[in-house]
Copies of this chain bind each other. A is one copy, B any other.
């Protein structure tokens, strides 16, 4: 490809409204162009990267025995009525009426379409297991698209669906997909990604995992154990809380605390540490407006996701006075709540002695409270956020707090879709059974953007060899020099013949423009030909990722490039 003919303009100016590195660089390098909110066109270089990522995904899916299919983007309402999702999914799902007035929708995922394909197709236990997948456009009407290709409304996604006779078969297949996903991210070039449990099963939830590119640009808060590899989304993270100690307290005693209401104010007033206090956090349930009171040790924060799962409802702000409580003075001892209210005690309170809590009346708290003496028979639950400095539940190492972008996920779906849609298969014993499903997604564009977040530097994009739009950026300086032009043309021809994917900057522009452009574009190897390099019959080869430069004799150049390309791919794929 000649750069002068490449569709796309490189620009120096910082694009307005873009804050993420990947967003800024994709715009500046002429890789993408915004068409609408959360909607982008991919220019040729981005499409080339996208297709390489797709090829890696396809290869790994095929190795798992996956069979590529194509589901429709537009589906009739009836299909989604069967699963109940036509009603249960809110504004994210685009609905429209066709010319006959029929209700249609744009597929966000394709569980229904997958079951539709398999129904009456797989009818016997002998037809399973089977995995079908597609790589296709999806549209989700996200409320807040942002960050270029990180969170968009329209995107290319690989979605796969597996069908199994037994949970054991799904378990063993799920493990294989889990590993294939790890290979996919390694092959794409990620060095820094973790797998987190999507749902740690507090409520017996289904097993799922999210693959997270670790980057400050991420939307998700993560904790990662640097020793054993435990990683979790903050929303569901567990840890070992630092133990409570201290002596059994003296007798409980009401103390005047006046306007001190927050736990910080109360502890400051009473000159005690927040570690020696219990605070209450209150909500009401969205579903039926029940009061929810959660007690934690004063130096901890509530994890609303965990709490929400416990009460099986979203949580809303509550005016506690409506339930007869005294705001700012709620305490564990002698708490009176209406029947049907929820009261929870976090594990951080377990074994706590000699602490302060609200007295459940205005202006007063109680001190010298003891869990063991004053709050017998309390059941403790895990509803606190993991704090900095807390330790891994598996190995005790101090957890690292970081951020991540979800670059893929895998789920065990169970029979949710096969049972609602009525798909059954004949089992060996003659019974009819609903197959058990798994589903496995990867967003192609988000991977493209996330690898930029990991690799790019202040000069521009840096592509891993496995997904680079081109392998070599041929960059003659001074093309007005006859010898330079002639050698470069010849090299361009030779590279193409050797199967090297080459971007050839044959423009007659300054060295500064050419080198800056090449750094911005991020092609892994740059070959500079100039009057100076030709003096020694050499080319200067620069590795984009490291900046390392080597001089190679022209006669050896093609061979050396092929070897460098091969080496870099081998390095990326070395421990698959």
Residues of A within 8 A of B (CB): 1, 4-9, 30, 33, 35-37, 39-44, 46-48, 50-51, 65, 67-76, 78-79, 91-92, 94-96, 98-99, 102, 104, 106, 113, 116-118, 120-123, 126, 130, 132, 134, 136-137, 139, 141, 143, 153-154, 156
Q: Which residues of B contact A134 (CB under 8 A)?
A: 47
Tell me if A9 and B69 are in contact (CB < 8 A): no
Q: Which of B7, B68, B74 contacts A117 (CB 8 A)?
A: B7
Q: Which residues of B contact A121 (CB under 8 A)?
A: 7-9, 30, 33, 43
Q: Which residues of B contact A76 (CB under 8 A)?
A: 35-37, 39
Q: In the complex, A70→B50 CA distance in Å?
A: 10
Tell me if A94 and B91 are in contact (CB < 8 A): no
What's the minimum C-beta distance from A11 to chain B, rounded to whole angstroms?
10
A interface, over-half SS? mixed
Q: Which residues of B contact A41 (CB under 8 A)?
A: 69-72, 113, 116-117
Q: Which residues of B contact A50 (CB under 8 A)?
A: 70
Tell me if B117 and A43 are in contact (CB < 8 A): yes
Q: In the complex, A512→B106 CA distance in Å?
A: 43
Task: List the B residue with the shortest CB-CB distance to A98.
Answer: B141
Tell me if B5 and A35 are in contact (CB < 8 A): no
Task: List the B residue with the shortest CB-CB distance to A33.
Answer: B117
Q: Which 6 A-B pairs have the closest CB atoms?
A: A96-B96, A36-B76, A44-B67, A91-B99, A42-B70, A39-B72
Tell me if B130 and A36 are in contact (CB < 8 A): no
Tell me if B154 and A72 are in contact (CB < 8 A): yes
A sample of 19 more A-B contacts (CB under 8 A), given A35-B71, A74-B139, is A5-B65, A7-B67, A7-B69, A7-B118, A33-B116, A33-B117, A35-B116, A36-B72, A36-B78, A36-B79, A41-B72, A44-B69, A47-B69, A47-B134, A50-B70, A73-B73, A74-B154, A96-B96, A136-B137
Q: In the complex, A156→B72 CA distance in Å?
A: 10
Q: In the complex, A102→B116 CA distance in Å?
A: 32
Q: Which residues of B contact A96 (CB under 8 A)?
A: 94-96
Known contacts A69-B47, A98-B94, A136-B137; decide if A120 and B74 are in contact (CB<8 Å).
Answer: no
Q: Which residues of B contact A130 (CB under 8 A)?
A: 5, 7
Q: Which residues of B contact A143 (CB under 8 A)?
A: 99
Tell me if A9 and B79 are in contact (CB < 8 A): no
Tell me if B118 and A40 are in contact (CB < 8 A): no
- 13 A-B residue pairs with Cβ-Cβ distance under 8 Å, sorted by A, are A33-B121, A35-B75, A35-B76, A36-B78, A39-B75, A44-B67, A44-B68, A47-B68, A47-B69, A47-B70, A74-B106, A74-B139, A91-B99
Q: Which residues of B contact A91 (CB under 8 A)?
A: 99
Task: List the B residue with the shortest CB-CB distance to A68.
Answer: B47
Tell me if B70 and A7 are in contact (CB < 8 A): no
Q: In the complex, A211→B6 CA distance in Å?
A: 30
Tell me if B79 and A35 are in contact (CB < 8 A): yes
Q: Which residues of B contact A42 (CB under 8 A)?
A: 69-70
Task: List the B residue with the shortest CB-CB distance to A94.
Answer: B96
Q: In the complex, A39→B106 CA distance in Å?
A: 12
Tell me if A74 and B153 are in contact (CB < 8 A): yes
Q: Which residues of B contact A137 (CB under 8 A)?
A: 73, 136-137
Q: In the complex, A116→B113 CA distance in Å?
A: 33
Q: Which residues of B contact A44 (CB under 8 A)?
A: 67-69, 132
Q: In the complex, A78→B137 CA distance in Å?
A: 22
Known contacts A141-B98, A143-B99; decide if A67 and B9 are in contact (CB<8 Å).
Answer: no
Q: Which residues of B contact A65 (CB under 8 A)?
A: 5
Tell me if B72 and A35 are in contact (CB < 8 A): yes
Q: Which residues of B contact A74 (CB under 8 A)?
A: 36, 39, 94, 106, 139, 153-154
Q: Which residues of B contact A47 (CB under 8 A)?
A: 68-70, 134
Q: In the complex, A6→B130 CA distance in Å?
A: 8
Task: List the B residue with the shortest CB-CB distance to A118.
Answer: B7
Q: Which residues of B contact A40 (CB under 8 A)?
A: 72
What's the minimum C-beta distance from A337 to chain B, rounded to whole angstroms?
38
What's the minimum C-beta distance from A76 to chain B, rounded to whole angstroms?
4
Task: List the B residue with the shortest CB-CB distance to A2.
Answer: B65
Task: List the B residue with the shortest CB-CB distance to A121.
Answer: B9
Q: Which residues of B contact A139 (CB under 8 A)?
A: 73-74
What's the minimum C-beta distance from A314 to chain B, rounded to whole angstroms?
19
Tell me if A36 and B75 are in contact (CB < 8 A): yes
What's the minimum C-beta distance from A270 to chain B, rounded to whole angstroms?
49
Task: List the B residue with the shortest CB-CB distance to A91.
Answer: B99
Q: Which residues of B contact A73 (CB under 8 A)?
A: 73, 137, 139, 154
Q: Which residues of B contact A69 (CB under 8 A)?
A: 7, 41-44, 47
What's the minimum C-beta distance from A507 to chain B, rounded to whole angstroms?
10
Task: List the B residue with the shortest CB-CB distance to A8.
Answer: B121
Q: In the complex, A40→B72 CA distance in Å?
A: 6
What's the minimum C-beta distance from A438 to chain B, rounded to whole angstroms?
15
Q: Which residues of B contact A79 (CB under 8 A)?
A: 35-36
Q: In the complex, A366→B431 CA distance in Å?
A: 85
Q: In the complex, A120→B123 CA distance in Å?
A: 56
